[in-house]
Structure 1
Amino acid sequence: MSKTRSSEPRGPSQRQLRVGELIRRSLSELLTRGDLHEPELSGMSITVGEVRATPDLKRATCFVLPLGGGDEETMLAALRRAKPEIRFLLARNMKLKHAPDLKFEIDRTFDRMDETRRLLSDEKVRRDVEADDIAPDDAGPDGAEGDAG
């Protein structure tokens, strides 16, 4: 009997997570030290929030954000221009035979966190959540209210 594969999407493998974190750390160090020859990146503070590697490790998406609310489009354009140099330095620093192709995107994690916080602070949502938390505990083991006493 052959093994059936689930059609459900799986999360990233341990290897993908490990490589993504190595790239994130190395990229952060490169940007902090100012090792790149791209003039627009020299005075810019950039946070690398996450790096997601594809299962074959040939591509990696780097989620970045300028600190202090800098110009996101200028930062992305500068990172894209510096991509060949970044790949070369990452391969050398991480001792990789082949550095993955990098894609840079704006990290929207903080925006999503703010939106979630805003929703949870809404009075109607708060009442609904509190009602859901209270309702199951009020019923006894047989579904009746209170103790059988």
Structure 2
Amino acid sequence: MSKRRQERMSVEIMRVLSQIIQEEIKDPRIEFKNLSITRIDLSNDYSHARVNISILGDEIQREEAMKALQKAKGYIRSALAQQLKVRHAPELEFRLDRSIEHGIRISSLLEEIKEEAKGSNE
């Protein structure tokens, strides 16, 4: 399969998954405003998709949201197949992505350093 087609399919899966999670999943443990799909890694044969998800909140909220996604995985996969109009949707593997959390932490540390530098210059 071509790399370009694989990338387009990944983008489309990301769009549809976001829509499904936002509009169709009613589990209170999943708050879409705190959840972001950061990346989809799709296998060459489209049979597996690794879905990287960033969840803002404390560790308990992250664990609960991941459990809810795991529980709804079958429904999400069938809804994905239906909306993509494909016979076989990829097997979904949800993974917690902490890159946004690390970015926020680095930004706050840089801001602290900036404030300290201003304080020492005065």
- Map of 1:14 onto structure 2: 4
Report the TM-score, using the length of structure 2 for normalisation: 0.73
- Map of 1:65 onto structure 2: 54
> CA contact under 8 A between 1:16 and 1:52: conserved in structure 2?
no
Higher Cα Rg: structure 1 or 2? 1
- Map of 2:37 onto structure 1: 48
| Among candidates 69, 85, 88, match of residue 95 of structure 1 | 85
- Larger relative contact order, structure 1 or 2 (CA cutoff 8 Å, min sep 6): 2
- Percent sequence identity is 29
Q: Which runs of 5+ in 1 are unaligned?
A: 1-11, 123-149
Deviations 1:25-47 (A, max 9, x none): 001111111x1254533xx1221
- CA spacing shift, 1:40–1:108, aligned 2, 3 Å: closer
Please give the root-mean-square deviation of Cα atoms over the aligned residues, in Å: 2.5
Report the TM-score, using the length of structure 1 for normalisation: 0.61
Aligned residues: 105
- CA spacing shift, 1:40–1:113, aligned 2, 3 Å: closer
- CA spacing shift, 1:108–1:94, aligned 2, 3 Å: same
Q: Distance in 1 between matches of 2:103 and 2:45?
A: 30
